[in-house]
Structure 1
Amino acid sequence: MGLTRKQISTVAVLLIGTFVVVLNQTLLSPALASIMRDLSIDAPTVQWVMSIYSLVEAVVIPLSAFLIGRFSTRQLFITGLIIFTAGSLLCAFSPGFIFLLLGRVCQAIAAGVFMPMIFTVLLLIFPREKRGSAMGLVSLVIGFAPAVGPTLSGVLVDSIGWRMLFVVITVVGVLLVLSAVKFLENYGDFERTSFDKLSVLLSTVGLVCLLYGLSTFSSTTNPAMTAGFIVVGLVVIAIFVRRQLKLENPLLKVTVLKTRNYRIAIIVAIINFGVLIGLGTILPLYLQTLRGFSALETGLTLLPGALIGAFVGYFAGRLFDRWGVRKCVVPGVTIFFVGTLGFLIFDMNTDLLVICAIYTVVALGIQFLTTPMNTWGINSLDNSVIQHANAVTNTLNQVSAAFMTALIVSISALGSIIAPNADPTMQLYEGDHLAFVATAVLAAIAFIIVMFFVRDKRKRDTHIAPRSMQQFSPSENTDEIPVSRAMNPEPYFVTSTATIREVAQIMVDNKASGVPIVDHNKMVVGFISDGDIMKYIGRNDGILDSTYMLYQVPDPQTFPQRISKLIDMNVMQIATKNVIAVKSDSSLEDACHLLSEKRIKKVPVVEEGELVGSLSRADVIRGTMANIVTIKAMAEKDDAKKPQLA
């Protein structure tokens, strides 16, 4: 990867920190029933340990730019880890629910502070040409952590108890703090920014009031007070939004929501994320409190959906580049909606495998929908406001997670109202069934939005970079024209020790768009194109797009800095190493198909791996014209072979 040993240690610390933070968001799902029994609280109350985490993170995320500009990355990461570890310790030994909630607040503050910072530092550590690897590592961690969280939680809860979850996190946190003190260095010189204190106060008060009202409306003994909290929350949030529109440097630049495609993408995204997190709360409660399954069985039920969803989310992004948005999101939202309808068949005897299969279908649909929708929305914005869109997206995702969890769990508590004469078990069932109906309604809203409002602006013309070695063998049809008749037998090439300066000079002198790279035996080991050079010197923003986070960091290098660094770089650092090549006795027709299908301009021509020529689109045209007499004769011969119609 081109990193020093200390940089590798730093990356390891940052990735483990990322894993623990993301894991912490889903770890508690199978433990909720145990916490309810141990602390003698009901479902609308216990959901606060999930929703308060998302809510606090939503308030803190917009402050990350201010904190990164005010403190060094080393100070911020270590301090954040200490707060996170202290919160975990408080949760582990909390004597009551209030202390558990306070510990979760500490964890969320730390997560909101250093998650954006971790992503930024990783981009600065990795060489520019290796940033794709950095994004792949972070995406893998963020996709894997939620998958193993419920299963790990189930094992610990069933064998030891829910407090052991926080003991394990505390121990890992202490080890991370010690590792960070030893290995972590400061990276980046970030611009100092300020923030509007009143905006922070308004957002906090408004969100907390609204969340409290939504989480207590089903169990309150004072409906007027609950309604008052909801009204106050909405009014304060409206004041917050109005203030953001007036400030020159707002905490959240809500004007990005004026862009139609981005606004549509945000609405669908918050439904997706809210339903996913909400199901992660209500489904374990259904399985454990109503059906009597263990925490481990609950975790294993959620595992396939999380694992498959993580891989689907990765491939959905690639399919978006090839197909466009609609061909991705229509199947995704359909699977999502149909899957939520499956929840409506749950009863007191539904097999665990059926529950697992239906949840997996829903998770698959959500993941297949999320990445293309996020990318489509971000692509509709000007580059100058993408950073603000990141903050809006991540904040609203966390707000959605908090509110959807509170709403769905509160709806599940309505069982005693809709079935007042039923026994307690049936009241639980009726409440959970109503909560599943609510998720289906939310999925239906997403389905309608996607079907009627999401459109491809135009067909995408995406270059597909060659990623695997392909050598086209000669055709058995001796009547076909071989590549050797059209290729350039004296190709331009560079050795694997050449610099980009030498490559650029060859391209300029010979008006070449690409040059093969050979070793000392003239064996092809790579290919450098003008596209590879443009990709390096063009702006390369770091993008992380997952269900749990959307983040984009602007390229820290200026255009002159990128050119200055590139010009004396070894050619193999940015070249395509797995080269697509053709053999000299291959069919020219097959070679034309290759150039067209892969959308490339030139390929090396080889014999047993050794460079013997090159074939470009221009070579094909010249070769065709030079052999036009022969080609016409072959065509007449082919016509003569056709059977005559009676």
Structure 2
Amino acid sequence: MGVGRKELVMVGVLLTGTLLAVLNLTMLSPALPAIMSDLGVDATTAQWLTSVYALVEAVIIPLSAYLVGRFTTRQLFITALSVFTAGSLAAAVAPNFWVLLLGRIMQAACTGAVMPMVFTVILLVFPREKRGTAMGVIGLIIGFAPAVGPSLSGLLVDSVGWRALFAIVTALGVVVVVLAACLLRNYGNFARTSFDKLSVALSTVGLVCLLYGLSTFASTTNMALTLGLIAVGIVLVAFYVRRQLKLPEPMLNVRILKTRPYATAACVVIIVQAALLGTEVITPLYIQGTLGFTATMSGLAMLPGAVIGAFTGLVSGRLFDRFGVRKVAVPGVLVAVLGASGLARLGIDANFITVVLTYTTLVIGLQFTMTPLNTWGVNSLDNRVIQHAQGLSNTMNQVAGSFGTAVLVSVSALAPLVAPGAPAAEQAYLGEHMAYCTTFGLMCVAALVIIFLVRNRPAAAAGAVAATPTEHGEEPVDYAAGISGVAVDATTGESWDQARTYTAAEVMNREPVCAADTATMAEVIRLMDANQTSGLPVVSASGDLVGFVSDGDVASYLGKTEIALVDSTLLNGYRYIDDEDAATRLRELMGLSVMAVATRRVISVEATTPVDEVCALFAAKRIKKVPVVQDGKLVGALSRRNIMRSLVEAIDLLEK
């Protein structure tokens, strides 16, 4: 990985803290019914344990840049994890609900403060050529926690009790703090930034008033106070938005919402996040309270959705790159609508497998929708404001998760008003059914927005030209279809059978310039310049093809690195942009071995490969040159220039 043992140990400590934070968030849902029973609170009150986590993070995350610049790596991480551990301990021994809620607030505040710093420092530790691999490892670890969290939580709740969840997190937190004190060192030189105190006050008070009003709407005994809090929250949030429009450096650049694709994507993702987070709270209540299953079973019910959903996000991103947003998001949201409709049709005595299948269908559809929509929305923005989109999206997603949980739980609490004479069990089922119907309604709204407003970008001009006839009226020639076979004169319509089929061995350069696998990048760059080539095969001492290095690899290393990671569990996106100057990057590049930069999984062809197949490979992979091998040994190189020369020979042959 290009780093020493001490650096790897430090990264391990940081990743352990990251995993602990994600695991802490995903473990709570199956424990809510047990907490409600033990502490004597209803679902409307208990949902605050989930919604307040997202809300506090929404308030703290915009301050993370200030905190990173104000404190050293050790100070921020150790202090944050210490407070996180203290909050976990308070939750574990909480004598009442409000102490438990305070512990959750402490946990959320520390998570929002430290997570952006952790991701940035981890990437700074790794050399530039290994940062992509490092990001993959981080994503794998984050994706692991939501898969095991609910199942582990249910098992612990049934066997030991819900307090064991926080006790385990407390013990792990102590271990992480001790390890950090012994092994973590300061890393990175982050510039100090300032923050607008009035903006923080407006957003904090406004969001708390709005969320509290919504969450108590169904159960309040003082409706005037509840409506007043909602109104005050809306007014304060409006003042916050207005202040952001006036500040020269706003905490959240809300102006980017004027870009229609980004605004459309943001609205849909908010709806989706609200439905997802709210349903994650309602589902354990339904499985344990209405159906009578254990907490372990409720955790297992959420496991397939978490596992498959993680892979679905990766697949949907690749499909987006190939087909565009519409062909991925529309089927995805329709699958989510199907899953939501299945939840809305669940009865008071539904089969457990049916619940698992419908919930998993909903999660898969939502994951299939969010990734392409997020990418489509951000791609519509100018590169200069992408960092603002990150902050705005993170905040809106956190707030959406809080509001979704509060609204769905409040809807479920309306059941006694709808059926006041029904037994308690039927009232509980009716409330959960109403919440699921609300999820179905939200997904229908999201589907309509995507179907009518989400469109792929117009095709590039080059693609349009390629699809039109030439100035002489002929259809464009598709050289990837092959040189061998039948050729037709576009003027006379006469055809000739081609006499022979070309292979890579006949067309290739038999004396290719190549680099030894022991060469430095300084030597390779000089070699590429001297031979005026865009890429070089890399060979071992025995002549085996072991890599390929191109001018694109050089440009990628020298370019300003920007790496992004979307964390669907914490509803955050993290972006790293390096601040090294070009001269520093160039000096680092010159001293590297070519194999540190070269591509090891080389696209190559056999010497006997027909040229038409090579043309198809060039077109499909969008490459300019491929090495030619025989028994694994490099025997030549074949480029587009070689192909053009063979075309001239083919034309001369056909005209004879």
Q: TM-score range by the shorter chain?
A: over 0.9
Structure 1 unpaired stretches of 5+: 463-474, 634-646
Equivalent residue letter for 2:441: V
Partner of 2:304: 304
Shift of 1:353: 0.6
**Which residue matches 1:265?**
265
Q: Distance in 1 between matches of 2:215 and 2:433?
A: 18
8 Å Cα contact 1:374/1:545 also seen in 2: no
Aligned match of 1:545: 566
Structure 1 counterpart of 2:520, which letter?
T
Match of 2:608? 585
- Aligned residue for 2:586? 563
Match of 1:615 among 630, 634, 638: 638
The residue number in structure 1 matching 2:513 is 492
* Post-superposition offset of 1:479: 5.5
Query: Relative to structure 2, which stretch is displaced further, 248-257 or 389-398?
Result: 248-257
Residue matched to 1:468: none
Q: Write the mapping of 1:15-94 to structure 2, written as runs, cut at 5 A.
A: 15-94=15-94
Q: Equivalences for 1:370-389 in 2 at 5 Å?
A: 370-389=370-389
Equivalence for 1:501 = 522
Give yes or no for the alignment of 1:447 onto 2:428: no
Q: Distance in 2 between matches of 1:273 and 1:9?
A: 35
Structure 1 residues 177, 632: CA separation in 2 closer, same or farther (over 3 Å shift)? farther
Looking at structure 2, the residues matched to 438 and 461 of structure 1 have their Cα atoms a distance apart, in angstroms, of: 44
SS at match of 2:604: strand
- 1:96-118 CA distance string (max 9 Å, x none): 01100100010011001011111
Partner of 1:392: 392
Q: Residue in 2 aligned with 1:574?
A: 597
Shift of 1:509: 2.4
Give the structure 2 partner of residue 345 of structure 1: 345
Secondary structure at the counterpart of residue 609 of structure 2: coil
Contact 1:370 1:546 in 2 (8 A): no
The answer to whether the 8 Å contact 1:73/1:186 transfers is yes
Match of 2:284 in 1: 284
Deviations 1:413-471 (A, max 9, x none): 11111111211111111111110111111111111111111112134799xxxxxxxxx
Match of 1:526 in 2: 547
Matched residues in 1 for 2:11 and 2:499: separation? 56
Aligned to 2:6: 6
Using the TM superposition, give the Cα deviation of residue 262 of structure 1 relative to its aligned residue in structure 2, in angstroms: 1.5
More displaced, 123-132 or 539-548? 539-548
1:311-326 pair list within 5 angstroms:
311-326=311-326
Shift of 1:562: 2.0
Contact 1:313 1:546 in 2 (8 A): no
Alignment partners' CA distance in 2, 1:180 and 1:288 = 39
CA distance in 2, matches of 1:329, 1:101: 37
For the residues of structure 2 that align with 1:257 and 1:278, how far apart are their CA atoms?
25
Aligned positions of 1:106-117 closer than 5 A = 106-117=106-117
Deviations 1:142-196 (A, max 9, x none): 2221121110100000000000000000001000001111111111111111111
- TM-score (structure 2 length as normaliser): 0.92
In structure 1, what is the equivalent of residue 103 of structure 2? 103
TM-score (normalizing by structure 1): 0.93
Once the 2 structures are TM-superposed, how far is the Cα of residue 597 of structure 1 from its aligned partner?
1.6
Mapped partners of 1:56, 1:99: distance in 2: 16
1:624 equivalent to 2:647? Answer: yes
Cα shift readout 1:314-372 (whole Å, capped 9, x = no counterpart): 22222222222222211111111221111111011211111101111111111111111
CA distance in 2, matches of 1:632, 1:364: 58
1:45, 1:581 → 2: CA distance?
Answer: 62
The SS at the match of 1:186 is coil
Question: Are the equivalent residues in 1 in contact too, given 2:44–2:215 (CA < 8 A)?
Answer: yes
**1:97-176 superposed matches below 5 A:** 97-176=97-176
User: Would the alpha carbon gap of residues 479 and 351 (structure 1) be closer, same or farther in structure 2, given more than 3 Å must change?
Assistant: farther
Counterpart for residue 206 of structure 2: 206
Q: Secondary structure at the match of 1:2?
A: coil
Instruction: Name the aligned partner's letter for residue 553 of structure 1.
Output: Y
CA shift for structure 1 position 266? 1.2
1:604 aligned to 2:627? Answer: yes
Using the alignment, how far apart are the partners of 1:484 and 1:297 within structure 2? 62
Bigger drift between 216-225 and 582-591 goes to: 582-591
After superposition, the C-alpha distances for 1:52-91 in whole angstroms (9 at most, x for unaligned) are 1111111101000000010111111111100100000000
Instruction: Name the stretch that deviates more: 587-596 or 225-234.
Output: 587-596
Which letter does structure 2 place at the counterpart of 1:216? T
Distance 1:16 1:373, change over 3 A: same
Aligned-partner Cα distance in 2 for 1:423–1:583: 75
Residues 9-41 of structure 1: CA deviation (Å, up to 9, x unaligned): 111111111111112122110000000100011
Equivalent residue number for residue 242 of structure 1: 242
Asked if the contact 1:26–1:280 (Cα under 8 Å) also holds between the matched residues in 2, the reply is no
- For the Cα contact (< 8 Å) 1:85–1:170, is it kept in 2? yes
> Which one-letter code corresponds to 2:647 in the other structure?
T
- 2:609 alignment partner AA: S
1:371–1:546 Cα contact (<8 Å) kept: no
Contact 2:36 2:46 in 1 (8 A): yes
Alpha-carbon distance in 1 for matches of 2:638, 2:609? 12
Question: Is the alpha carbon distance of 1:631 and 1:339 closer, same or farther for their aligned partners in structure 2, counting shifts above 3 Å?
Answer: farther
2:344 counterpart letter in structure 1: L
Asked whether 1:222 is paired with 2:222, we answer yes
Contact 2:624 2:639 in 1 (8 A): yes
Q: CA deviation digits over 1:225-284, x for unaligned, max 9? A: 111111111111111111111122222222222222211111111122221111110111
TM-superposed CA distance for 1:567, in Å, is: 2.6
1:307–1:82 Cα change, 3 Å: same
* CA displacement at 1:514 relative to structure 2: 1.0
Letter in 2 for 1:191: A
Structure 2 CA distance for aligned equivalents of residues 580 and 542 of structure 1 = 25
Paired letter, 1:63? L
Query: Cα deviation per residue 1:518-537 (whole Å; 9 max; x = unaligned)?
Result: 11112111111111112211
For 2:460 and 2:341, locate their aligned partners in 1 and report how far apart those are by CA, in whole Å.
34
Alpha-carbon distance in structure 1 between the residues aligned to 2:525 and 2:324: 34
**Cα separation, 2, equivalents of 1:632 and 1:142:** 63
After alignment, is 556-565 or 480-489 more displaced? 556-565
Letter in 1 for 2:345: I
Tell me, yes or no, if the aligned pair for 1:482 and 1:585 is still in contact at 8 Å.
yes
Residue type at the aligned position of 1:365: G
The residue type equivalent to 2:533 in the other structure is: A
Aligned to 2:475: none
| Distance in 2, Cα, partners of 1:91 & 1:585 | 69
User: SS state of the match for residue 580, structure 1?
Assistant: coil
Measure the CA separation in 2 of the matches of 1:452 and 1:538.
Answer: 38
Q: Which amino acid aligns with 2:64?
A: S
One-letter amino acid matched to 2:539: V
Give the letter for the 1:596 counterpart: A
Partners of 2:291 and 2:350 within 8 A in 1: no
Could you tell me how far 1:585 is from its partner in structure 2?
A: 2.0
Matched residues, number: 620
Q: Which amino acid aligns with 1:369?
A: T
Query: How many Å separate the matches in 2 of 1:289 and 1:136?
Result: 39
1:625, distance to aligned residue in structure 2 (A): 2.0
- CA displacement at 1:628 relative to structure 2: 4.3
Over aligned residue pairs, what C-alpha RMSD do you find?
1.8
Q: Secondary structure at the match of 2:574?
A: strand
